[in-house]
Structure 1
Amino acid sequence: MTVKVLVVDDHPVVRDGVTSLLRSDPGLVVVGSADCGRAAMTSAAELWPDLVLLDLRLPDMLAPEVITGLRKVRASAKIVVFTAHGDHQGVVAALDAGADGALLKDVAGMDLAAALRKVLGGERVVDPRVLPEERQRSAALAGSGLSRREYEVLRHAARGKTNPEIAEATGLTRNTVKTYLQAALHKLGARNRVEAISKANEAGLL
């Protein structure tokens, strides 16, 4: 099955470079590109990409705004932030807005394709050079028994989002959000979401 990729970056050399890098995986095909946030939303509505590789810094909009807009036109698409900077706060904001991963632009072709494949498989992939604590969090997650989706839903809940807001940010239905949240509560041995968030925090998950 061919995976359609939309590249959003205001630098033509980056857009061309990503297209070349992804040639290492014939199943990942760049179907279009955009140079700003508004163009990204238009392209996503027209091209129906499976994955969007999004520059963290665009000339017209911040990445979290673009992510929210993309979720409205193509809710099921995976979104991976692509940055040249170790911009901790910018990456955290993008992940909080619903990005499925964050990679540095110096990633090699095979590594990029492999990382995108992991994201398409449901994993959240974050380069440890962008967020050094992500490695410890990944280890804690592996020991918790939580699935990536359960963790993602719990992470949004920890930031005060309601179930409808989590559904919009993740592209899931409200019932699915509720199911994932209940599963997370059960695995953490918590009676409610406040207790679950507290236990997850103690375990180094948040």
Structure 2
Amino acid sequence: MTVRVMVVDDHPVVRDGVTLLLRSDPSLVLVGTAEAGRAALERVEELRPDLVLLDLRLPDMLAPEVISGLRQKDPGVRVVVFTAHGDHQGVIAALEAGANGCLLKDVAGTDLVSGLRRVLRGERVVDPRIMPDAAYRSDALARSGLTRREYEVIRLAAQGRTNPEIAESTGLTRNTVKTYLQSALHKLGARNRVEAIGKASEAGLL
């Protein structure tokens, strides 16, 4: 199956380099590029990519803003942050905004393609050099069976947020938050919210 990829980066050498790297896998097709966040949001509806490779630092917008905008335009698009900087806080903000992964720009071509393939399979992929614990957490999430949304709800609940506050933070309805929470409780084998948070913590998710 052909996967449509869009690259968003303000450096032409990076855009050209990624184009060359993607050629190692003929099923990954570069459908277009953008040099800034606003341009990416304008082009995503036209290009309809399956996956966006997004620079963490753009000249006009923060990566989390771009990710939120991309999600509004196309909720199903996968977004992988591509950065030269091991910016811990910037990566966390991007992941919390809904990024499916984060890779460093010095990654080898085969590793880039492998990382993108894992994201397309539904995994969250973070280069361990950026956040050493993220890879472990990603594995723990896979073992738990929780979806990204269920994990997000549990994580916010662990911060002491109420269902209405979680709904406001995530853009979900209160009923949807309740449904995700109940599903997470079932998968974690917990009887209530407090027990679920405890089990999630024991599993290395929090």
Smaller-chain TM-score bracket = 0.7 to 0.9
Matched with 1:155 is 152
Corresponding pairs, count? 199
1:79 aligned counterpart, secondary structure? strand
Q: Deviations over 1:111-163 (max 9, x none)?
A: 111110110110111110010112332443355x324x2x4432344235635
Separation in 2 of the partners of 1:58 and 1:177? Answer: 32
Of the two, which has the highest radius of gyration? 2
Q: Which blocks of at least 5 consecutive residues in structure 1 are unaligned?
A: none
Structure 1 pair 105/198, CA: closer, same or farther in 2 (3 Å)?
same
What is the alpha-carbon root mean square deviation over aligned residues?
2.3
TM-score with structure 1 length normalisation?
0.86
Structure 1 letter corresponding to 2:17? G
TM-score with structure 2 length normalisation?
0.86
The yes-or-no answer on 1:62 pairing with 2:62 is: yes
Separation in 2 of the partners of 1:104 and 1:87? Answer: 10
User: Do 1:154 and 1:197's aligned partners in 2 also have CA atoms closer than 8 Å?
Assistant: no
Higher relative contact order structure (alpha carbons within 8 Å, sequence separation ≥ 6): 1
Q: % of aligned pairs identical?
A: 67
Matched with 2:105 is 105
1:24 aligned counterpart, secondary structure? coil
Separation in 1 of the partners of 2:176 and 2:116? Answer: 24
Q: 1:190: how far off?
A: 2.1
2:132 aligned counterpart, secondary structure? coil
Q: Deviations over 1:17-67 (max 9, x none)?
A: 001000011000110000111001011111111000000000011110000
Matched with 1:146 is 145
Aligned ranges for residues 32-181 of structure 1 at < 5 Å?
32-143=32-143, 145-147=144-146, 149=147, 151-159=148-156, 160=161, 162-163=166-167, 166=170, 180-181=180-181
Separation in 2 of the partners of 1:129 and 1:82? Answer: 13
